[in-house]
Amino acid sequence: MDPPDDFEALTKAFSGFGVDEDSMASILGKWHSEHLESFRKRTPKFFVEDERLFERWDDHHIACLTKEFLQFKDIVVQWIMHPWERDARLVHEAITKGPQAYGLLIEIACTRSSEELLGARKAYQSLFDQSIEDVASRLEGIERKLLVALVSSYRYEGSRVNEGTARSEATTLAIAVKNVDKKNPIEDDGIVRILTTRSKLHLKAVVKYYKEIYGKNIDEDLDTLMSLKETLQCLCNPQAYFSKVLNDAFKDDADENTKDALTRVIVTRSNVDMKEIIEEFDKQYKVPLTQKIEDVALGNYKDFLVSLIRRVA
């Protein structure tokens, strides 16, 4: 194939999740200077015409391409890392990014066991010379009270559930949700106590009674209360939560924080409940997760993602 005919293939090689290293190397390795010049002129997506009459890389695309090259490195590093350290670094990243990443704090606090969360708190102190609880207490926004309590919790994980208490707390939750115009439920000490001290089995019972009493799933009442909705999803139905996070990452208009979830979810859940997440994703979105990854990801990054999934499928 004459090198100029490879333009489309080269563009595709670094226009997804990761980079198709093999295609890129085979194409660029045979191009001469005139082919490179032609490519620069024909791909305004990547290059802009400078006032001094040469084509230069678009700065934003350099940053994007650099990030895509790092995808494979990042997934390997995260996979090898001790889970406590990995979660501690994810928490630090979420805190650094600010309110748009607070959902990641909820995810880690609510989908880990009590021992795993305690381990992440120990690792955070070791890595950053401060406690997660202290850092969380300095966060801004109405979520602060909930986030501090979530990352500080050590839940009971036994099988005992007090059905009467669960039914009563379903009513308490419903009243708080229906009075959202007066007060956001996550600012209510009683709601925060229920969400952060009750076992996951107990909270599943609360959600069950909510539907029995009010005739609808609680998710339907929480569309405007995302922190509360994500907290309950992570605690009571993490497979559905992670399936949605993955699907959002695949969308064409996903921002960088949303796209980063693809690596995070596959790595952190691979040894936990990836099989159940695969089944839930297939049920919700009518496409196998491996096929979706094959469609959007590239190169070594894609291969590693698929290998982590197929080992449990």
User: What's the CATH code of the domain at 246?
Assistant: 1.10.220.10
126 inside domain: no
- Rounded mean pLDDT, 177-201: 95
Angle at which helices 59-80 and 299-310 cross, to 10°: 30
Query: How confident is the model over 130-156, as pLDDT tens digits?
Result: 999 999 999 989 999 999 999 999 999
- Rounded mean pLDDT, 215-222: 92
Query: How confident is the model over 63-75, as pLDDT tens digits?
Result: 989 999 999 999 9
Helix spans in the chain (H): 7-13, 21-28, 33-42, 59-80, 83-97, 102-111, 114-128, 132-136, 144-152, 163-178, 189-197, 200-214, 226-236, 238-250, 256-269, 274-285, 289-296, 299-310
Q: How confident is the model at residue 1 (pLDDT cuts 50, 70, 90)?
A: very low
Of 57, 81, 98, the residue that ends a domain is 57
| Residue among 297, 306, 234, 229 at smallest CA distance from 266 | 306
Residues for the chain: how many in total?
A: 313
pLDDT at 238: 98
Share above pLDDT 90 across residues of the chain, in percent, rounded to a whole number: 88
Range of the domain at 300: 238-313
277 inside domain: yes
pLDDT at 7: 87
Q: What is the mean pLDDT of the chain?
A: 94
Share above pLDDT 70 across residues of the chain, in percent, rounded to a whole number: 99
Are 199 and 156 a contacting pair, CB within 8 Å? Answer: yes
- Rounded mean pLDDT, 238-252: 97
DSSP-assigned letter for residue 45: T
Of 57, 74, 94, the residue that ends a domain is 57
274 inside domain: yes
281 inside domain: yes
Say if residue 249's pLDDT is above 60: yes
Distance, in Å, from the CA atom of 272 to the CA atom of 117, rounded to the nearest integer, reads 14
pLDDT at 312: 86
242 inside domain: yes
- Rounded mean pLDDT, 45-57: 92
Between 141 and 167, the more confident residue is 167
Number of domains in the chain: 2
Say if residue 5's pLDDT is above 90: no
309 inside domain: yes
In DSSP terms, which residues pair with 124 in a beta bridge? none
pLDDT at 2: 53
Query: How confident is the model over 251-278, as pLDDT tens digits?
Result: 999 998 999 999 999 999 999 999 999 9
Q: What does the longest C-alpha to C-alpha distance in the chain come to?
A: 77
Phi, psi (degrees; rounded to nearest 5) at 36:
-65, -40
124 inside domain: no
Distance, in Å, from the CA atom of 188 to the CA atom of 104, rounded to the nearest integer, reads 22
Distance, in Å, from the CA atom of 290 to the CA atom of 279, rounded to the nearest integer, reads 11
Say if residue 4's pLDDT is above 80: no
| Residue among 285, 273, 280 at smallest CA distance from 312 | 273
Write the DSSP string, 254-275: --HHHHHHHHHHHHHHTTTTHH
49 inside domain: yes
> Which residues, including other chains, have CB under 8 Å from residue 138's CB and lie 6 or more apart?
none
